[in-house]
């Protein structure tokens, strides 16, 4: 793997979406899940860079879900937009990170001119979706990612499911055995591209002693089995990415480690590069 590129500080733009959510929600960028939260009243900032391969037009999709307390299990117009003081807020922002600044970034964010227009459903519905076209202009990098990967929707879906489950069963075994070096090798392309998108200076953090110790403490001997009855194969990234997601307990999560203290979710998006018949990890 080649060394990380270097960019001047003023070029290190981070794009993000910030939401003040009034309902549960699911948010996607270019058909990739960014965040899914099934409670109300959450404020969250989601960095987009790891999923932005290059400058250009990108599609943000927000799926508004019914309140947990909705007796009719429907999303009502007022849940999304009641008035200007009681409504969903979605902001598309950019900034330059600076850990020495009180807020963690340089300057101020212009929230007034960064807000996306939220439109409520015209009547009660099971859910409501909005899409927004984001114009990304200032990324200094360009990544290959899954841009030239095979379209998994064109595969025989039974064959696809077998291959995806085989991959995740192998990955689960590596983690359960505590094989940290093999885990790093399986994730090296993902780690490199994420490091580029986040303007890291080196890749040392991924293989650091602390990371290894946490990996062993959380994963070795603690990984849940990958039983096909507990999972469904999901295709994202407009057909280029795949993963498995739990159907019941810890719904929508991927590989699970359980210790005496807690559960840990490990998410992976895999793809098939053009010219390859095997999957590899490309994002989380």
pLDDT at position 159 is 97
> What are the φ/ψ torsions at residue 16 (nearest 5 degrees)?
-150, 160
Tokens 């200094």 belong to which residue?
A: 140
Q: Which residues of the chain have pLDDT under 50?
A: none
Tokens of 21: 């959510």
Q: Dump pLDDT digits (tens) for 113-146.
A: 999 999 999 999 999 999 999 999 999 999 999 9
Q: Distance between CA atoms of 263 and 283, rounded to whole angstroms?
A: 21
Domain ranges of the chain: 9-136, 152-283
| pLDDT value, residue 1 | 53
Tens-place pLDDT, residues 188-231: 999 999 999 999 999 998 999 999 999 999 999 999 999 999 99
**3-class DSSP state of 50:** helix
DSSP 3-state assignment of 180?
helix
241 neighbors 268 (Cβ within 8 angstroms)? no
Beta-bridge partners for 28: 33, 61
The H helix count followed by the E strand count for the chain is 5, 16
The pLDDT of residue 41: 87
Helix (H, G, I), strand (E, B) or coil at 41: coil
- The β-bridge relationship of strands 13-20 and 43-47 is antiparallel
pLDDT of residue 2: 67
Residue 115: other Cβ atoms inside 10 A:
14
CATH number of 152-283: 3.10.450
CA 63 to chain centre: 15
| Residue 95 phi, psi (nearest 5) | -160, 170
Give yes or no for a contact between 134 and 34, defined as CB atoms under 8 angstroms apart.
Answer: no
Q: What is the pLDDT of residue 268?
A: 98
Question: Residue 3 burial by CB count (10 A; 0-12/13-18/19+): exposed, middle or buried?
Answer: exposed
SS3 151: coil
């Amino acid at each position: 793997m080649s060394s990380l590129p270097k960019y001047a500080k003023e070029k290190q733009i981070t794009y993000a979406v910030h939401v003040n959510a009034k309902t549960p929600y699911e948010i996607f960028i270019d058909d990739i899940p960014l965040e899914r939260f099934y409670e109300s009243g959450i404020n969250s900032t989601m960095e987009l860079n790891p999923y932005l391969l290059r400058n250009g037009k990108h599609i943000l999709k927000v799926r508004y879900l019914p309140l947990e307390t909705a007796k009719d299990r429907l999303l009502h117009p007022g849940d999304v937009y009641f008035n200007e003081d009681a409504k969903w807020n979605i902001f598309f922002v950019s900034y330059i990170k600076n850990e020495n600044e009180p807020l963690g970034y340089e300057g101020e964010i212009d929230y007034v001119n960064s807000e996306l227009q939220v439109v409520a459903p015209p009547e009660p519905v099971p859910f409501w979706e909005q899409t927004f076209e984001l114009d990304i202009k200032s990324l200094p990098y360009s990544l290959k990612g899954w841009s030239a990967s095979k379209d998994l929707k064109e595969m025989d879906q039974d064959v696809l499911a077998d291959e995806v489950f085989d991959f995740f069963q192998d990955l689960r075994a590596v983690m359960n055995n505590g094989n940290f070096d093999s885990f790093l090798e399986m994730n090296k392309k993902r780690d490199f591209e994420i490091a580029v998108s986040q303007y890291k200076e080196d890749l040392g953090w991924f293989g650091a002693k602390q990371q290894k110790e946490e990996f062993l403490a959380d994963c070795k001997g603690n990984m849940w089995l990958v039983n096909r009855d507990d999972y469904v194969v999901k295709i994202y990234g407009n057909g280029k990415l795949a993963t498995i997601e739990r159907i019941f307990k810890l719904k929508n999560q991927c590989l699970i480690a359980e210790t005496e203290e807690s559960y840990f979710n490990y998410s992976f998006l895999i793809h098939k590069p053009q010219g390859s018949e095997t999957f590899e990890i490309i994002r989380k």
